Amino acid sequence: MLSLRHKTNDHFWFSFFHEAGHLLRHGKRLRFIEMEGALGNDHENEANEFARDWLIPQQAAKVLTGMPKTEAAIRELADKLEIAPGIIVGRLQKEKLLRWDSVLNKSLKVNYEWRHFE
């Protein structure tokens, strides 16, 4: 099950591929309940690596450290990888290569919100 926990496209797609990693690597019979502050384990780490490397393959990720942290450079890499620029911003933030309060956080990440219909 997925949620809109952080309400941005980078978190949504990472979570999607994280859960896919569990299914593909660990089978569908294992049950995982993730809670805030829970300690990681080998299954969680493996699912995180699967999602990380599926979204931005290791070979492509090598350029993250030295690339300019500009909107143009991030969009160019995103186009090359055929992913949303917000995914690259999220990865840069996770790797501590870009600040969480960067202007790129607002300009390149897509925000989601629940709509309530009456």
Number of neighbouring beta carbons within 10 Å of residue 106: 10
DSSP classification of residue 39: P
Token readout for 78 is 């995103």
Give me the percent of the chain exceeding a pLDDT of 90: 59
Q: In the predicted model, is pLDDT for residue 35 greater than 80?
A: no
Of 111, 118, 64, give the one whose Cα is nearest residue 91.
64
Q: Band of the pLDDT at 48, cuts 50, 70, 90?
A: very high
> 3-class SS at 60?
helix
Q: How confident is the model at residue 79 (pLDDT cuts 50, 70, 90)?
A: very high
pLDDT in tens, 81-110: 999 999 999 999 999 999 999 999 889 998
**CA 118, CA 113: separation in Å to the nearest integer?**
16
Mean predicted confidence (pLDDT) in 60-81:
96
